[in-house]
Amino acid sequence: AGTSIARASSDDAAIEGAYRFLRNQNVDTQSIAIAGYNSTLEQVKDTALVLAVQDTTGLAYRHSVCEQLGSAPSANKDKPKAKGRSLFVHSTLMLDANNGHTIGLGNQHYWHRESKVQGNAQEKKMRVRREKESFKWQRNLEQLSERYGSLSNVIDVCDREADSYEYLDYQLTQGHRFVVRAKTDRRLSSTEGKLSEIFNELEPQAHAYVKIAQRGGRKARNARKSGNRMVCWLSHCACREKTP
């Protein structure tokens, strides 16, 4: 993993075999992916508690394949190139919550931006939800639910990009277990006040030590990290209103 086909192959015959496989028009990539998802499914069923970790990766390209990736600029924000284009991949990685071991890939969705979204901020917000890129969080979970049937032993984990009213409402309506890193200081349904006020009153329930390597003039150390206001267990403190 993480190397070219040439480096990953044992000899010239293996390299040629790999390229023939990729060039074969009868190879259905989706069928290969589904076989992997089904293998993960069998292990998830036998695992007491599973974390379904969602995240997006933008793969930037500048060669001929760009012709197939729409007209929107590259996802590389540090070095934007007019000729660059991106393929976006949203993955759900299944982990054993008790030991941190990787079970497998639960689902994956990929797309490219055919063109820039037109309109002002309000017009963009009023688009059909399933047409927005932000729907990726719900799409992956819907596909997991369709494939797995029950998600009773699964906790969905997302970063702050998933902190949107629509996604949180979907999770709560479906009765899923989930964790979303908070971006918005929302009002709460269980009590008066907002999210930040509640977290200021709570004591951390757990902590972990993170090994930080030496860098510059700073010595290597073990840092203690406790749960804080930036992490919201929204399965327990549901947002009450759409606006903060």
Q: What is the 3-state secondary structure (H, E, C) of 63-101?
A: CHHHHHCCCCCCCCCCCCCCCCEEEEEEEEEEEECCCCC
Averaged over 164-192, what is the pLDDT?
Answer: 86
For 216, the token pair is: 């510059």
Averaged over 23-49, what is the pLDDT?
Answer: 89
Amino acid at position 67, single letter: E
Quote the mean pLDDT of the chain: 80
Which tens digit of pLDDT belongs to each residue from 84-143?
777 889 999 999 999 989 999 999 988 777 777 677 777 767 777 777 888 899 999 999
Helices (H), the chain: 5-8, 12-23, 29-45, 121-125, 136-148, 165-174, 195-201
For 89, the token pair is: 């991949």
For 202, the token pair is: 């709570």
Amino acid at position 119, single letter: G
Task: Return the bridge partners of 85, or none.
Answer: 61
Residues of the chain above pLDDT 90, percent? 27
Closest CA to 173 of 153, 189, 192, 157: 189
Three-state DSSP class for 212? strand
Averaged over 160-173, what is the pLDDT?
Answer: 90
Yes or no: say if 237 and 177 are a contact pair by the CB < 8 Å rule. Answer: no
Closest CA to 96 of 43, 54, 138, 143: 43
Q: What is the CA radius of gyration of the chain?
A: 21
Is the full-model pTM beyond 0.75? no
Three-state DSSP class for 134? helix
